[in-house]
Amino acid sequence: MLKKIIIHTFFFISFISFFIADTYAKNLSRPNIVLITLDALRPDHLSCYGYERKTSPNIDRLAEEGILFTQAIAQSSHTYCSIPSIIFSRYLPFYEINFNVDSEIRYRVKKNVTSLIEILRDSGYTVGLFLRKSGNLFSIYLGVSAYANEIVIALNNRCKDSESLTHWALKFIERSKNTPFFIWIFYYPPHAPYIPPPYLQDLFIGDSIYKKQIKEYDMLSISSEMYHSFGREIPMEAYLEPHKEYAYYIAQYDGYIRYIDELIGRIINELKKLNLYKDTLIIINSDHGELMGEHGRYFCHGELLYEPLIKVPLIMRYKSFPQGEKISTQIELIDLVPTILDILDISIPETFQGESFLDVILGKRNKHKKYAFSILEDYRISLRTSKYKLIKNIRSTPFEEKLNLKPPKYELYNIQNDSLEINNVSQKYPEIVKEFEKVLKEFMEKITFEEETRKEDTVRELERLKSLGYVQ
């Protein structure tokens, strides 16, 4: 009997030792992850995407050492929809948006959705979150903060706070250098108002682009609206008194990008100094873009789903990736987290609606998703392929109603030949509209079905908690 106990104990201890050793080995082999998100950054204002101004030398070097995606599509044109879509890898239909703090925390817990943050923490990562201020995202921040080893939220959204986020992020990297870590830095710049530090405010004033824009654009006027504009107006949020020159605002936006690029350079230098750079997966992205006069809207976002708002930069650098490659395959931002988990060989949760594009990065296939979807609450939804894009306007936004603007039900654009989305060809190609409408209907039915299924699961879980005495 004693011999049996000793043998069983030996096998049990051996199993535990193997499990610990295997877990330790996996942690050692897993890369550090640095995710840097910039708010309202357009890809066509980065040098590595072909922009004439040298706005992004540090980001450019990352692109030279990694992968640059030319067709990365955000799932909304607003931060409060796009950011949760990224970290939860879920499309966010309008009925999932709730700004009540308590309700939104329940949304995260009761609907049994899982975020990248908790998965990485449960997988042995040290997690640091360094996030711009956002009232609309505060409850999401609270929901994921329980899984972070460290979280810093900026008090406001100016340069000083971006400096502070960088300072604490660098401290976190140094403290966490001996364990696999995940760090997410969510910067406010280049979001309006475009106010780079004084030493960068004149960086692009007077250059060839500035002179050309001064000639081509008349003076703008000031909108009475805080966040929106229509017809050559500057939203009050973006107004930089006394300036009304279009060229001035573009120069400040570009200077703001250069500023954040410098902060990113500090992160890269710290990784190199600690000999962590080689084994770190670095990702640069944006939550959405910005309108710079397209469709009569200046220096704002939200409201619409045109290309400058939903096409975003995405750059990924890691030692096993090809270097200096541009990938034109269409991907969605909700695919980013599944791809990260695929790189780490971590199972992808069933609640994720995104799909890994690791095989695209490694050159094993050149196709990913035929369709990319973007949603703006219950106002409009878009469906995009590599050639055509359909925007379905469900109802007018409050701003459109105020101005008595009535968008057509359908807008169809050939984005290969009409990248500015000027010519609505929905009446010319009704068969494409019909085909896309069918796809949209199936898409909405699918995510609605999943929503109802999760509601049923939540009711069952609530009954179980009641039976255990946890809920009255």
The tens digit of pLDDT for each residue in 174-187 reads: 999 999 999 999 99
Q: Which residues contact 402 (CB under 8 A, 6 or more apart)?
A: none
**How sure is the predictor about 460, in pLDDT bands with cuts at 50, 70 and 90?**
very low
Per-residue pLDDT tens digits for 343-368? 999 999 999 999 999 999 999 998 99
* Structure tokens that stand for 96 in this block: 């999932």
Q: Which residues contact 180 (CB under 8 A, 6 or more apart)?
A: 27, 28, 30, 31, 32, 124, 125, 126
Radius of gyration of the chain measured on its C-alpha atoms:
24
Which residue would you say has higher pLDDT here, 472 or 170? 170
The residue-averaged pLDDT of 308-325 equals: 97
Distance between CA 284 and CA 312 in Å, rounded? 10
Mean pLDDT for the chain overall: 87
**How sure is the predictor about 463, in pLDDT bands with cuts at 50, 70 and 90?**
low
The residue-averaged pLDDT of 225-236 equals: 91
* Structure tokens that stand for 434 in this block: 């019909």
Distance between CA 135 and CA 33 in Å, rounded? 26
The residue-averaged pLDDT of 76-105 equals: 72
| Number of Cβ atoms within 10 Å of the Cβ of 262 | 16
* Structure tokens that stand for 360 in this block: 């695209």
For 39, 280, 400, 407, the CA distances from 404, given in Å and listed in that order, are 30, 51, 6, 10
3-class secondary structure, 176: coil
First to last CA, the chain: 50
- At residue 414, what are phi and psi to the nearest 5 degrees? -85, 95
**How sure is the predictor about 139, in pLDDT bands with cuts at 50, 70 and 90?**
low
Give, for 400, the enclosing helix (H) or strand (E): helix 398-402
> What's residue 217's pLDDT?
93
Q: Are 233 and 223 in contact (CB under 8 A)?
A: yes
**Is omega for the bond preceding 349 within 30 degrees of 0, making it cis?**
no
**How sure is the predictor about 238, in pLDDT bands with cuts at 50, 70 and 90?**
very high
Longest dimension (CA), the chain: 95
Q: Are 233 and 293 in contact (CB under 8 A)?
A: no
Distance between CA 129 and CA 134 in Å, rounded? 14
Distance between CA 278 and CA 284 in Å, rounded? 16
Tell me which residue has tokens 């309700």.
Answer: 103
* Backbone angle region of 231, left / alpha / beta, with phi > 0 → left and psi within -120 to 50 → alpha: left
Closest Cα to residue 253, out of 308, 185, 203? 203
Which residue would you say has higher pLDDT here, 370 or 136? 370
Measure the CA angle with vertex 233, ends 249 and 302; round to 5°: 85
Q: Are 171 and 274 in contact (CB under 8 A)?
A: no
Q: Are 288 and 300 in contact (CB under 8 A)?
A: no
